[in-house]
């Protein structure tokens, strides 16, 4: 059985040659993701992360543009929310991760880690100590 082949020039298809294969990047070479910084910290003050230290943390975090997260046992808490921070229930010796995502992320994480290392400017009895000026 012969099949009919149309040999007219206007009906011929060009050979299916895709040309040279050029690898295409799967991602754009310039990432638009904001910088991320994180640091492991330990709660060192005797009474843990209660209302006054949480307030100091939040007030400092609010000075930065970055989104601030506190991570504890796989749960993430908004570092700019006093309600979230007090629900962490972090006591003396609790290990946390402070994470920031945004244009000033490294500075934010550094300042917050410094605040935690300074026992949130409280003495051993939980009385407030004078704060040094922590500006971004």
Q: Please report the pLDDT score of residue 70 as a whole number.
A: 98
Q: Are 100 and 39 in contact (CB under 8 A)?
A: no
Specify whether 119 is catalytic.
no
Give 123's pLDDT tier (boundaries 50, 70, 90): confident
**Separation between Cα atoms, residue 69 and residue 119, nearest integer Å:** 19
- pLDDT digit string, tens, across residues 33-91: 789 999 999 999 999 999 999 999 999 999 999 999 999 999 999 999 999 999 999 99
Specify the pLDDT at position 124. Answer: 84
Band (134; pLDDT cuts 50, 70, 90): very low
User: What is the share, in percent, of the chain residues with pLDDT greater than 70?
Assistant: 73
Contact of 41 with 86, CB cutoff 8 Å: no
Q: Residue 44 is encoded by which pair of tokens? A: 């060192």
**Which stretch of 14-18, 32-36, 105-109, 125-129 has the lowest confidence by average pLDDT?**
14-18
Which helix (H) or strand (E) segment holds residue 67: the answer is strand 67-72
Q: How far apart are CA 47 and CA 24, in angstroms?
A: 56
Which of residues 110 and 30 earns the better pLDDT score?
110
> For domain 36-121, which architecture applies?
2-Layer Sandwich (3.30)
Q: What integer pLDDT is reported at residue 135 of this predicted model?
A: 45
Among candidate residues 40, 50, 72, 119, the one labeled active-site is 50
What stretches of 1-136 show up as alpha helix (H) in DSSP?
Answer: 51-61, 82-87, 105-117
């Amino acid at each position: 059985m012969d099949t009919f082949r149309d040999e007219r020039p206007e009906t011929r298809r060009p050979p299916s040659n895709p040309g040279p294969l050029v690898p295409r990047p799967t991602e754009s070479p310039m990432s638009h993701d904001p910088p991320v910084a994180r640091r492991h910290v330990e709660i060192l003050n005797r009474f843990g992360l209660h209302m006054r230290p949480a307030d100091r943390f939040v007030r400092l975090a609010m000075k930065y543009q970055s989104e601030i997260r506190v991570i504890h046992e796989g749960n993430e808490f908004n570092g700019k929310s006093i309600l979230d921070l007090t629900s962490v229930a972090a006591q003396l010796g609790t290990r946390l991760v402070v994470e920031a995502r945004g244009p000033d992320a490294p500075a934010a994480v550094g300042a917050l880690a410094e605040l935690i290392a300074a026992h949130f400017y409280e003495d051993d009895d939980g009385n407030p100590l004078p704060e040094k000026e922590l500006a971004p």
